[in-house]
């Protein structure tokens, strides 16, 4: 019975986590030199929340309980480091931000016996890492030690200097650890992922810009997922084979985002891929260099996208009605009474979003300063005051 319950929980967890979008902007591609990333958590019927985890010092041997995300029951423990950072939502006090989208991939590689699901792994990474690169090491070390029980994930890891995209998937029932690869987003580029593996071939001898598990290729060989030369290995093709459904559902969102910031005629050359004509084109670029610097406001607008101005425009088809409504209050796929199968486009902006964030990780300094509100009922407001690097306030002011 417990095994059945765990399986049901996994299915429900997948349903609430599989519908997400991340957009990423390198520091030299942004208007103000900051690293920007976004996150839509679009699980249907899923309520978003903003959690605060205070910073803390820990005694040697102290352990942290790992709880089931639904029942709250303790599943096991991980050893605490000497200090953990404060975390609010998906960003910590060091401006490390970690968000994700689920691609599932080969479900036979899920390990129900692993202790850490992807959400717990991310929270532990935020508590323990002061840079994006350190967060990759922390999360993959924890997974190797305690096991990973989620399906395939693409994870955005940003700090004020770098942005990374990491893909990770388990090794199957009863096997600890995971196979993974992480690539640094070039500073002058933008990137995105949306529920489909994005990393194909990657450099094997560039530790500054690419990190990966030592068995990411050999494990694929053992499982029969790959038989070619190491240099030709594609993480996506081995661990998340594509089909029309997952490309149209997922990578169409990436294509539309890129189209906002690059020559539209050039991006439209990838339409055969979006339409499932893989003999003509079988991938999108992982990164592109935008036509002009991207601002936070630009990214906010990108998060409202419904494929406007493209052949997939949700305001222009028959189901938009007389008011050109982009919202579709219906399932993604459905069958008519005469047996015909249809699907609804899946845009970045969708009515079932539980939460959305736009994170700006900046080398500029910000300090919380108390100010008295002009309206009644609240004694003081906390306002952000920008400080130049190295000029933080000399004295700490308490909020009262």
pLDDT at 17 over 50: no
Mean pLDDT taken over the chain: 87
pLDDT in tens, 31-70: 999 999 999 988 767 766 788 999 999 999 999 999 987 7
Is the CB of residue 166 less than 8 Å from the CB of residue 204?
Answer: no
Where does the pLDDT of residue 366 fall: very low under 50, low under 70, confident under 90, or very high at 90 and above? low
Q: Which residues pair with 92 in a beta bridge?
A: 87
Direct distance between the N- and C-terminal alpha carbons of the chain, in angstroms, rounded to an integer:
52
pLDDT at 88 over 60: yes
CB neighbourhood size of 316 (10 A): 15
pLDDT in tens, 186-230: 999 999 999 999 999 999 999 999 999 999 999 999 999 999 999
Instruction: Give the C-alpha separation, 255 to 248, whole Å.
Output: 10
Is the CB of residue 156 less than 8 Å from the CB of residue 109?
Answer: no
Query: Regarding predicted confidence, which is higher, 268 or 45?
Result: 268
Q: What is the pLDDT of residue 376?
A: 40
pLDDT at 1 over 70: no
Q: What residues contact residue 183 under an 8 Å CB cut-off, 6+ apart? A: 164, 165, 166, 199, 202, 209, 210, 286
Predicted model pTM? 0.87
Where does the pLDDT of residue 286 fall: very low under 50, low under 70, confident under 90, or very high at 90 and above? very high
Where does the pLDDT of residue 2 fall: very low under 50, low under 70, confident under 90, or very high at 90 and above? very low
Token pair recorded at residue 164:
């990374």
Locate the domains of the chain by residue range.
Answer: 2-305+348-363, 365-400
Decide: helix, strand or coil at residue 200: coil
Q: What is the pLDDT of residue 365?
A: 66
Where does the pLDDT of residue 355 fall: very low under 50, low under 70, confident under 90, or very high at 90 and above? confident
Instruction: Give the C-alpha separation, 117 to 70, whole Å.
Output: 12
Q: What is the pLDDT of residue 16?
A: 40
């Amino acid at each position: 019975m417990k095994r059945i319950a765990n399986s049901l929980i996994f299915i429900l967890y997948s349903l609430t986590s599989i519908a997400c979008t991340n957009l990423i902007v390198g520091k030299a591609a942004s208007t103000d030199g900051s690293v920007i990333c976004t996150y839509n958590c679009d699980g249907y019927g899923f309520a978003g929340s903003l959690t605060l985890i205070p910073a803390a010092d820990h005694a040697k041997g102290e352990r942290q309980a790992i709880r089931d995300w639904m029942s709250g029951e303790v599943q096991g423990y991980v050893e605490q480091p000497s200090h953990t950072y404060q975390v609010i939502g998906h960003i910590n006090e060091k401006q490390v931000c970690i968000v994700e989208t689920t691609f599932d991939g080969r479900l036979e590689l899920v390990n129900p016996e692993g202790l850490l699901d992807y959400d717990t792994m991310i929270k532990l990474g935020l508590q323990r890492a002061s840079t994006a690169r350190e967060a990759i090491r922390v999360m993959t070390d924890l997974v190797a030690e305690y096991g990973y029980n989620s399906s395939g994930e693409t994870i955005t890891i940003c700090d004020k200097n770098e942005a990374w995209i990491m893909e990770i998937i388990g090794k199957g029932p009863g096997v600890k650890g995971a196979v993974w690869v992480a690539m640094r987003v070039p500073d002058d580029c933008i990137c995105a992922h949306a529920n489909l593996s994005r990393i194909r071939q990657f450099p094997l001898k560039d530790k500054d810009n690419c990190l990966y598990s030592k068995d990411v290729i050999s494990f694929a060989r053992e499982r029969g997922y790959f038989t070619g030369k190491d240099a030709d290995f594609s993480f996506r093709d081995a661990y998340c084979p594509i089909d029309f459904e997952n490309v149209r559902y997922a990578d169409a969102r990436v294509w539309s985002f890129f189209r906002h910031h690059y020559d539209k005629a050039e991006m439209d050359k990838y339409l055969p891929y979006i339409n499932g004509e893989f003999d003509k084109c079988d991938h999108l670029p992982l990164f592109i260099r935008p036509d002009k610097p991207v601002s936070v406001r630009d990214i906010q607008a990108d998060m409202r996208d419904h494929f406007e101005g493209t052949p997939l425009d949700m305001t222009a088809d028959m189901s938009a009605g007389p008011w050109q409504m982009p919202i579709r209050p219906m399932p993604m796929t459905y069958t008519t009474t005469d047996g015909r199968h249809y699907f609804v486009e899946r845009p970045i902006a969708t009515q079932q979003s539980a939460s959305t964030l736009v994170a700006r990780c900046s080398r500029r300094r910000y300090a919380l300063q108390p100010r008295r509100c002009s309206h009644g009922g609240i004694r003081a407001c906390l306002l952000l005051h920008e400080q130049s690097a190295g000029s933080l306030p000399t004295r700490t002011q308490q909020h009262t």
